[in-house]
Amino acid sequence: MGTNNVQAHHQTDQLEIDYEFLPLLRVYKNGHVQRLMGTDSIPPATDPQTNVSSKDTFNIVPQTEVYVRIYLPNNIVTNYHNRHRKLPLLFYIHGGAFCISTPSSLKYHNYLNTLVAEAQIISVSIHHRRAPEYPLPIAYEDSWAALKWVASHRNYGPEPWLNSHADFGRVFVAGDSSGANIAHNVVVAAGVNPELDLGLDLLGLAVVHQYFWGSDPIGSESLDPERKASVDRLWPMVCPSNPDHDDPRVNPMVDGGKSLVGLGCRRVLVCVAEKDTLKDRGWLYYQSEKAQVLIKRLAAFFNRDMPPLVR
């Protein structure tokens, strides 16, 4: 009878919810995390629609689940005359509120297939460890480690596609939503810590529907209290070690946006969605940087009638 009671209690504990962050995930008191979105997975392959080849490479951060998916136009892979052709390199970080999705998710896989085909570039898309099991700053550290891994191919690294086809003098860093936040912080780290010396020429940063926030509401953020309350919950969940919404990693405008001056790239592209709750943060990011850095370095796009990507 005692054993049955213990088993019943254990089963109840397994089903007992600790907290939810809907519609993204549910966390149980036994520590199990149930992801409700972004769980689909597409294997790497040659895409028949775009004629882009992809493959996964592991052991980026030893003894972790971190991996990268590399994309290359198939005409570069199969054409003997292109065997040493160098292409601009895009280092991409997916979104998903730091806690869902991977480079293998259908929307990201299809997006990068299309982008690589249209732009004729090589792309490295990173899967970082995700919150809440791995809270921030782990995603920042994983992304930095992956960018360093890419940079190691300047002197002939383990990945032949990068050795043969990546132009390390034309490197771009990009991401959407939480991935845009990581991309921004990676490029800031490259700029304010020159001793880190990636040895890459970071030509540009692209932040798309970026996840930035702050303690004090701006613009239209107060118009939807329910949505604001939901966004308010995200940062403390993914970064419990410093839940302050004015942490400069989530609010780059704090202290007048001083970190933006040290961005370690030449140009910045900012994309903002009209119906995104965070649109005012993206617009402020654009305007503040525009005031502090040469205007020629930055462009902005305002996507009208567009909802946001999943944070």
Give the pair of three-digit tokens for residue 204: 């540009």
- Give me the residues paired with residue 124 across strands: 70, 91
* Angle value at C-alpha 147, between 142 and 152, nearest 5 degrees: 120
Tell me the three state secondary structure of residue 3.
helix
**Phi, psi for residue 195 in degrees, rounded to 5:** -70, -15
Say whether 177 is catalytic: yes
| Angstrom distance (rounded) from CA 52 to CA 75 | 8
Tell me the three state secondary structure of residue 185.
helix
Burial (0-12, 13-18, 19+ Cβ within 10 Å), 222: exposed
User: Under a CB-based contact definition with an 8 Å cutoff, are residues 277 and 245 in contact?
Assistant: no
Burial (0-12, 13-18, 19+ Cβ within 10 Å), 270: buried
Burial (0-12, 13-18, 19+ Cβ within 10 Å), 300: middle
**Terminal-to-terminal C-alpha distance of the chain:** 48
Task: Kindly give the pairing relationship between strand 166-176 and strand 52-57.
Answer: unpaired
Burial (0-12, 13-18, 19+ Cβ within 10 Å), 43: exposed
Bond prior to 160 in cis (omega within 30° of 0)? no
Catalytic residue among 53, 101, 125, 177: 177
What's the one-letter identity of residue 225?
P
Question: Nearest Cα to 88, choosing from 40, 128, 47, 122?
Answer: 122
Q: Which residues are catalytic?
A: 177
